[in-house]
Amino acid sequence: MDPQSERARIAADFHDGPLQAFAVLRMRLHVLRRLIERGDEAALQEAIQLDQLCEARLAEMRGFLAKLRGQDIGGHSWSALVERFRRESGLHIEAHIDDQAPEVLKPIIAEALHNVHKHSDATAVLTVVRLEGLAWLAIVEDNGKGIPPDAVPESIQSRATAAGGSIALSGTRIEIRVPA
């Protein structure tokens, strides 16, 4: 991936993750301040919820930094990737992944799953990676709200292109093909 594309991917990751998290945190702090100024008893509950929000966002930031360092996927099995997604998202995931699937697909699948968790309002996701002829086919399909066909995230598109692959998007289903 060329440096400009990588910078764009990192910027998008920051926008979708930490930046939005801090914006929400700031808004909630303003609410807390108003509750305290009014002497409202709900202030304590809001403070507890903010603490939980901060804890969750710190975990996201640690994951983001691990991803940035390349520590989040490399060397981990496909089953570990699936289990981590299940644990972190709370979503039901059905996975059918060939043990011989290439490593180049892991960050693409991981990002697609991350996007399902963050943006789709899904409750379940299906992930398939299998060899079809001379190409590996990876499918991530969820039961969420879907995205327009021209809205493939740039970072997923650039990773697939760098691997000599292609992407097809249809609502709640993304298919990535890379040469075997």
Question: For the chain, what are the domain ranges?
Answer: 3-68, 78-179
CB atoms within 10 A of CB 71: 12
Helix (H, G, I), strand (E, B) or coil at 123: coil
| 92 bridge partner residues | 124
Predicted pLDDT at 75? 53
pLDDT at 71 (0 to 100) = 45
Query: What residue type is 51 in one-letter code?
Result: D
- Helix 3-14 / helix 42-68 crossing angle, nearest 10 deg: 170
Residue whose pair of structure tokens reads 């990588």 in the numeric block: 6
**CATH number of this structure's domain 78-179:** 3.30.565.10
Taking only the tens of pLDDT, the chain with its 180 residues reads 667 777 777 777 777 777 777 888 888 888 888 889 999 888 888 888 888 888 777 777 777 766 665 545 545 688 888 988 898 889 999 999 998 999 889 989 988 998 898 888 999 999 999 999 999 999 999 999 988 777 888 888 888 988 899 999 988 999 999 999
Q: How far apart are the first and last CA of the chain?
A: 19
Residue 60: its pLDDT value, please?
A: 74
Q: Contact at 8 Å (CB) between 122 and 144?
A: yes
Is the pTM here over 0.85, yes or no?
A: no
Strands (E), 47-160: 92-97, 124-132, 135-142
**Per-residue buried b or exposed e for 76-96, using 16+ beta carbons within 10 Å of the residue's own CB:** eebeebbebbeeebebebebe
